[in-house]
Amino acid sequence: MSYKLKALQIKARQEVYTLLSGNNLSKLHGEGYDFSELREYQVGDDIRKINWTISAKLGKPYIKELHANRELFVTVATLCDGSLYFGKDNKKQHKVAEVASIIAYATQQQNDLFMGINSTVAHTYSTPPTKQIYHIEAFSKDIFETPLLSTKLNQQEAIDNLFQQIYKPSLLFIVSDFLQKIDLSILAQKHEVVAIIIRKNEEENPKYLGETTLGDPTSRLKFETLFGKKTIQQYKTKLLEHDNELTEHFSEHRIKFIKIIDDENSISKLINFMNNPM
């Protein structure tokens, strides 16, 4: 295991265990055994839930709410190919590994079941439903280390495979740069889907390069161009159009989403998102 990967995993675990305490991925209420809250009876409530002892003491009917007696099933699915290389490095790939690890450790901390699925051109790596650290670290290792340069994943095919593979209704996080057009509606019919968009700052706000050589990281094709103000504006317009279509798709199918830039603090963004999901 590389030093960079081990450092990423240690940092993710420490942040989860210190900063994510009390920030659950999903708060569920319903029939169960653990006390949640006491509140006044409202018209329409099940009278079987009335706590008669407390109601007699307070002179009003009160309901005792309980936490749901069921485990949360959390799946993190990553879609990875050469587009995670932007510029001179693969920091987006490492950011995907970091975000996936944070969610996995948070799931394990809450004692819920976790499953990780990493889809690449070379293979689809998946863990069993698990609560074990070993499987989480093997999952993040596969994301971090799988060679991606010069590969192009058919993301829609990967999504269709996920629908077949994830047999149990889940809180499903899909992590990718979402630069391809993609349809998540089939997954949203069965799961609570959260899209996490990973981008580089230079990808969102490219700088003037002048005459330069650009390369496609999914095919390694290169071409000479003048990357000036006009080209930058055209690029940003196209990216904005793409992202607007993506947002409309998410909204139509009630898919929550968050964008994390490579130089942002992932844990802070995720905590804010959990408290105020879009």
The sign of the CA dihedral 160, 164, 170, 174 is negative
**pLDDT score recorded for residue 66:** 56
Counting the structural domains of the chain, the total is 2
Place of tokens 């587009």: 83
Does 191 lie in the same domain as 82?
Answer: yes
Q: What is the pTM of this model?
A: 0.82
Nearest by Cα to 256 from 265, 245, 246: 246
Place of tokens 């942040």: 15
**pLDDT score recorded for residue 29:** 37
**Has residue 266 been placed in a domain?**
yes
Nearest by Cα to 195 from 267, 235, 247, 241: 247
User: In terms of residue numbers, what domain contains 184?
Assistant: 3-22+71-275
**Has residue 191 been placed in a domain?**
yes
Does 255 lie in the same domain as 206?
Answer: yes
**Has residue 29 been placed in a domain?**
no
Does 257 lie in the same domain as 120?
Answer: yes
**pLDDT score recorded for residue 70:** 58
**pLDDT score recorded for residue 65:** 64
> Would you tell me the crossing angle of helices 133-145 and 3-19 to the nearest 10 degrees?
130
Does 153 lie in the same domain as 56?
Answer: no
Does 96 lie in the same domain as 54?
Answer: no
**Has residue 28 been placed in a domain?**
no
**Has residue 27 been placed in a domain?**
no
Does 85 lie in the same domain as 106?
Answer: yes
Bridge partners (DSSP) listed for residue 211: 226
What's the CA gap between 6 and 229, in Å, rounded?
41
**Has residue 204 been placed in a domain?**
yes
**pLDDT score recorded for residue 155:** 95
Nearest by Cα to 117 from 135, 92, 98: 135
Does 168 lie in the same domain as 204?
Answer: yes
Does 217 lie in the same domain as 119?
Answer: yes
Does 173 lie in the same domain as 40?
Answer: no
**pLDDT score recorded for residue 210:** 85
**Has residue 55 been placed in a domain?**
yes
Nearest by Cα to 264 from 175, 197, 194, 171: 197
Does 55 lie in the same domain as 184?
Answer: no
Q: Per-residue pLDDT for the chain (278 aa), expressed as one digit of tens each?
A: 688 999 999 999 988 888 765 556 654 333 434 445 667 887 767 777 787 877 787 788 887 765 554 568 999 999 999 999 987 788 999 999 999 999 999 999 888 899 999 999 999 999 999 999 999 999 999 999 999 999 999 999 999 999 999 988 899 999 999 999 999 999 998 899 999 999 999 999 998 888 888 888 898 888 888 888 999 999 999 999 999 999 999 999 999 999 999 999 999 899 888 877 66
Provide the CATH number for the domain around residue 113: 3.40.50
Does 258 lie in the same domain as 128?
Answer: yes
**pLDDT score recorded for residue 86:** 85
Does 98 lie in the same domain as 61?
Answer: no
Cα-only R_g, the chain? 22
